[in-house]
Amino acid sequence: MNSLDKLIAHFEKFPGIGGRQARRFAFHLLMLPKTDLQELSELVAGIQDQVIGCTSCRRFFAQNGHGTECAICDDPNRDISKLMVVERDSDIQAIERSGTYTGLYFVLGGTMPLLETKEKKTLRGNGLKMIVNERKEKGLEENILAFYLNPDGENTGRYVESLLKDEVADTPISFTHLGRGLSTGSELEYADPETIKSAFDNRS
Amino acid sequence: MNSLDKLIAHFEKFPGIGGRQARRFAFHLLMLPKTDLQELSELVAGIQDQVIGCTSCRRFFAQNGHGTECAICDDPNRDISKLMVVERDSDIQAIERSGTYTGLYFVLGGTMPLLETKEKKTLRGNGLKMIVNERKEKGLEENILAFYLNPDGENTGRYVESLLKDEVADTPISFTHLGRGLSTGSELEYADPETIKSAFDNRS
Amino acid sequence: MNSLDKLIAHFEKFPGIGGRQARRFAFHLLMLPKTDLQELSELVAGIQDQVIGCTSCRRFFAQNGHGTECAICDDPNRDISKLMVVERDSDIQAIERSGTYTGLYFVLGGTMPLLETKEKKTLRGNGLKMIVNERKEKGLEENILAFYLNPDGENTGRYVESLLKDEVADTPISFTHLGRGLSTGSELEYADPETIKSAFDNRS
Amino acid sequence: MNSLDKLIAHFEKFPGIGGRQARRFAFHLLMLPKTDLQELSELVAGIQDQVIGCTSCRRFFAQNGHGTECAICDDPNRDISKLMVVERDSDIQAIERSGTYTGLYFVLGGTMPLLETKEKKTLRGNGLKMIVNERKEKGLEENILAFYLNPDGENTGRYVESLLKDEVADTPISFTHLGRGLSTGSELEYADPETIKSAFDNRS
């Protein structure tokens, strides 16, 4: 396989990219100024050194020489009594954009699908246990399980509750779930019965 | 214009139907057995006599000789203390499918768009006033405003509250809105800040 | 089933219409002025008397009291030496819009799918035979088989050629097919090999 | 801007890639094995040295130490009497896939849009002139202008003909265009009049 085909093969492994678009990416690079190409090459080579996983919440952040915790975990003003467990880094961005939450996070790194019996390697169950153990001395009161509203997300919630059962026994630490209801822009006509039920129960 | 073109012109006024599909409908009729065609013609001619608006909630229902109220309004087991105001007939179907609500309904017949200053003719503001007036003697406690979660829907909620201000003054009748939150299947990553805020506030 | 449900059931049989849209159509009728409803009902009842199949080409046309042939077949200026066989009425409209063809038509009424062994009832094979027999005395020279460029269309072309084999034996009548090539707006990159081959062979 | 943001900014310039997908690409790289990351970085840095433009047809090809012409231009069995002028490298792939053409190519590198008065820098008009001049001594007979069937493509065809007017004067070299017609899978009902006209004229 020549260099062009190898490059295209790499791009074909990018998420959501098929053969035709991978080829376009390669042609795009062939047209770039040499300096851009050089910069991109160096960024690719160094990204795993410069962007590291936060030792607390596990999300990726750009290393800045100040430590191994991300800006949120390192912020003394965040509310240590709340820990929101999410599936992916991008969930944290969405929550932060809403400006509504001041607690801390933990990125589980995946879901526990309904028919799965053992944890995927990427799932950070042990890491979560450690963090909860550590935080229960420091005032942790609430684990907010913020998974997707589908069967796998719900199963992941149950899995996390059972995973932490011993850690929270004999503590006042509670588990909560994000509220269900009608989301912005949604029409009653297309809402499923479960969503309508929640919207009705949560009316105010 | 010949008969075929006239028929197509009628079909072009059907909701969501363009010229090409209108023409297909006409060809469909040309292929139907005569008896089907005759039945359809009679149903069309008689539909407005056989399907009437419920004198209480205003939704359409098939007349059955027993009165002028639909099966829900006529049901003595429905909870008269709750009145849910919706935009369209189809909203009632969605709520009923969820099996969660046992109160009564009122179909407003449209929205009050944000920049509108006067009520559309189809909006049944006066009808709603009358119903609330009548029901307040009979135990009405809660008006649930179940409009869409978009600016027009929210404006319609405000409009209904102001419309009924005098009716509910000096009564214990309250206004409530369906709860917001994440709906089934939705992913945090794509949720808007307002929805996330509601989901967080309604966590349980 | 009440009248409303019966009407909805009729609309659900309209081509491309599902339950939700069928219901919208019924609600549309409930809102129409009585006079419109009456007109639509009469058009539906009478359409099969007023729009009839042309006795020559078989396409539907609005009867005008002048005869049983459509305006094209009845036009003495059309070129009787050419007969274009198409699948559907709407194909004739497309050809006529192009203003390029002055011959006559025959609507076969369907295709002969690849794996089918016997003719569907709607296929007018016998009618086509009769027309070709009649026209061969009157100067018919070319049967243009204008079916879709897919396996079923190509099979229909072979079927028609074999169907008319005896009729055209010992006559100068030929069979032709519409030319393949790049169609307006198409890009080489997305064209299939067969189309590119035809476009190359037909270059000019 | 930190490394992660810089990397995302590079990916956002990839064709067809928005912010969200650029971010996913970066996360994809963060998860890759170090060896893959290193290989990708090296391929990116070296691609412009290893993939070069063919000095004859101008398309990109992976250098293999054997010369500056691509495998097609370097193949003595290709028919030098035909030169097909295309817009993009990917057009050549499509033509080659069809297995129908044995002549040579030239990649113009873009189109001459209808309202443009001067040539874009990327357009290789001068290169084309040189090639045609050189080939006319060697038996060139036909320039096949294989641009898209839209106004810009047609204008590009006219532009190339006028560009080469002096080169082909007093020679037997002709200009041809790919044939128009119905492409595989297309239905008459949706074909534009121009396509139908060509399909009719090219019937066979």
H/E/C letters for each residue in D77-89? CCEEEEEEEECCH
B27 contacts in chain C (CB < 8 Å): 60, 89
Mean pLDDT across D12-28: 94
Distance CA C117, CA B160 (A): 65
Domain for residue D70, yes or no?
no
Beta bridge partners of B72: none
| pLDDT tens column, B42-88 | 999 999 999 999 999 999 998 877 789 999 999 999 999 999 999 99
B148: nearest CA partner in chain A: A187
Comparing C30-44, C153-167, C190-204, the range with the smallest average pLDDT is C190-204
Same structural domain, A84 and A159: yes
Residue B109, Ramachandran bin (φ over 0: left; ψ between -120 and 50: alpha; else beta) = left
Interchain CB distance below 8 Å, C179 and D187: no
Nearest by CB to A3, from D27, D36, D47: name it: D47
D91: nearest CA partner in chain C: C189
pLDDT at D45 over 80: yes
Mean pLDDT across B27-55: 94
- Which among B2, B38, B43 is the top mutation candidate for probing chain C, defined by the most C β-carbons within 10 Å of its own β-carbon? B43
Domain for residue C180, yes or no?
yes
D144: nearest CA partner in chain C: C203
At B161, list the tokens.
């509250």
Confidence of residue A62 (pLDDT cuts 50, 70, 90): confident
Interchain CB distance below 8 Å, D23 and A48: no
pLDDT value, residue B33: 94
- In the predicted model, what is the mean pLDDT of chain A? 92
Same structural domain, B99 and B38: no
pLDDT at C91 over 80: yes
- Would you list the DSSP string of C23-65? HHHHHHHHHS-HHHHHHHHHHHHHHHHHEEE-TTT--EEE--S
Burial level of A147, CB count in 10 A (0-12/13-18/19+)?
buried
Q: Is residue C109 within 8 Å of residue C90, measured between CB atoms?
A: no
Nearest by CB to D179, from C100, C177, C179: name it: C179
Distance CA D14, CA D7 (A): 11
pLDDT value, residue C62: 86
Distance CA B82, CA A55 (A): 52
Beta bridge partners of D166: none
Query: Which range of residues forms the domain containing residue A164?
Result: 79-201
Same structural domain, C33 and C117: no
pLDDT at D149 over 90: no
Nearest by CB to B14, from C13, C28, C47: name it: C28
Same structural domain, A21 and A86: no
User: What end-to-end distance do the CA atoms of chain A give, in Å?
Assistant: 64
Interchain CB distance below 8 Å, B179 and A198: yes
List, as own/partner pairs, every contact residues A1-6 make where C-beta atoms lie below 8 angstroms and the sequence separation is at least 24, other chains included.
Answer: A2/D50, A2/D51, A2/D62, A2/D64, A3/D43, A3/D46, A3/D47, A3/D50, A3/D51, A3/D62, A4/D47, A4/D50, A4/D51, A4/D60, A4/D61, A4/D62, A5/D62, A6/D39, A6/D43
pLDDT value, residue A70: 94
CA distances from B36 to B30, B41, B45, B159 (A): 11, 9, 14, 46
At B85 the three-state DSSP class reads strand
Q: Is residue B102 within 8 Å of residue B79, measured between CB atoms?
A: yes
Q: What is the DSSP letter of C69?
A: S
pLDDT value, residue C119: 73
Distance CA A63, CA C77 (A): 83
- Sequence-distant (6+) residues with CB within 8 A of B2 are C50, C62, C64
pLDDT value, residue A202: 87
Interchain CB distance below 8 Å, B24 and C16: yes
- In degrees to the nearest 10, what's the CA dihedral of C161, C166, C167, C171? 100
Percentage of residues of chain A with pLDDT beyond 70: 100
Same structural domain, C24 and C113: no
At A4, list the tokens.
């062009």
Q: What is the DSSP letter of B183?
A: P
The count of other CB atoms within 10 Å of the CB of residue B33 is: 9
D181 contacts in chain C (CB < 8 Å): 178-183, 198-199, 202
Domain for residue C158, yes or no?
yes
Same structural domain, D182 and D104: yes
pLDDT value, residue C149: 87
Same structural domain, A9 and A109: no
A4: nearest CA partner in chain D: D62
CA distances from D48 to A13, A25, A27, C75, D51 (A): 21, 13, 10, 67, 5
pLDDT value, residue D64: 74
Q: What is the DSSP letter of B200?
A: H
At D74, list the tokens.
């370097």
| pLDDT tens column, A91-126 | 998 999 999 999 999 999 999 988 877 777 779 999
- Which among C30, C32, C44 is the top mutation candidate for probing chain B, defined by the most B β-carbons within 10 Å of its own β-carbon? C44
Closest CA relative to residue B61, chosen from C166, C91, C26: C26
Same structural domain, D126 and D165: yes
Please give the helix or strand (H or E) that residue C106 lies within, else none: strand C103-107
Percentage of residues of chain C with pLDDT beyond 70: 100
Interchain CB distance below 8 Å, C34 and B48: yes
- Sequence-distant (6+) residues with CB within 8 A of C148 are C87, C111, D185, D186, D187, D188
pLDDT at D16 over 90: yes
CATH number (domain holding residue B179): 3.40.1360.10
Domain for residue C127, yes or no?
yes
Mean pLDDT across B164-183: 93
Distance CA C44, CA B32 (A): 11
Interchain CB distance below 8 Å, D62 and A26: no
The interface pTM score, or ipTM, of the predicted complex is 0.80
Interchain CB distance below 8 Å, B62 and C28: no
Mean pLDDT across D69-77: 95
pLDDT at C118 over 80: no
Residue C126, Ramachandran bin (φ over 0: left; ψ between -120 and 50: alpha; else beta) = alpha
Mean pLDDT across D33-45: 97
Interchain CB distance below 8 Å, A196 and B100: yes
Same structural domain, C120 and C193: yes
The alpha-carbon gap from D30 to the nearest alpha carbon of chain A, in Å, equals 6
Interchain CB distance below 8 Å, A50 and D90: no
The alpha-carbon gap from C174 to the nearest alpha carbon of chain B, in Å, equals 32
Same structural domain, A126 and A179: yes
Same structural domain, C112 and C169: yes
Mean pLDDT across B79-101: 94
Pairing of strands B60-62, B51-53: antiparallel
pTM of the model: 0.72
pLDDT at A79 over 80: yes
Distance CA A157, CA A151 (A): 10
pLDDT at B97 over 80: yes
Closest CA relative to residue C124, chosen from C183, C62, C58, C174: C58
D50: nearest CA partner in chain A: A3
Domain for residue B109, yes or no?
yes
Mean pLDDT across D85-93: 93
At A104 the three-state DSSP class reads strand
Domain for residue A64, yes or no?
no
Identify the contact set of chain C against chain B, taking CB-CB distances under 8 A: 2-7, 10, 13-16, 21, 23-30, 32, 34, 36-48, 50-51, 60-62, 64, 89-90
Q: Is residue B57 within 8 Å of residue B70, measured between CB atoms?
A: yes
Domain for residue C186, yes or no?
yes
Max alpha carbon distance in chain D (Å)? 64
CATH number (domain holding residue C27): 1.10.8.420
Same structural domain, A178 and A97: yes
pLDDT value, residue A1: 80
Q: Is residue D109 within 8 Å of residue D140, measured between CB atoms?
A: no
pLDDT value, residue A191: 86
pLDDT value, residue B69: 94
D204: nearest CA partner in chain C: C176
Residue C163 backbone dihedrals phi, psi, to 5 degrees: -60, -35
| Total structural domains within chain A | 2
Q: Is residue C110 within 8 Å of residue C123, measured between CB atoms?
A: yes
Amino acid making up residue A151: P
Nearest by CB to B99, from A150, A178, A193: name it: A193
At D98, list the tokens.
């069809």
Q: What is the DSSP letter of A62?
A: E
Interchain CB distance below 8 Å, D39 and A10: yes
Domain for residue A14, yes or no?
yes
- Would you list the DSSP string of chain D? --HHHHHHHHHHTSTT--HHHHHHHHHHHHHS-HHHHHHHHHHHHHHHHHEEE-TTT--EEE--SS-SS-TTTT-TTSEEEEEEEESSHHHHHHHHHHT---EEEEE--S---TT--S--TT--HHHHHHHHHHHHTTT--EEEE---SSHHHHHHHHHHHHHTHHHHTTS--EEEEPPBSBPTT--GGG--HHHHHHHHHT--
Closest CA relative to residue A82, chosen from A131, A123, A126: A131
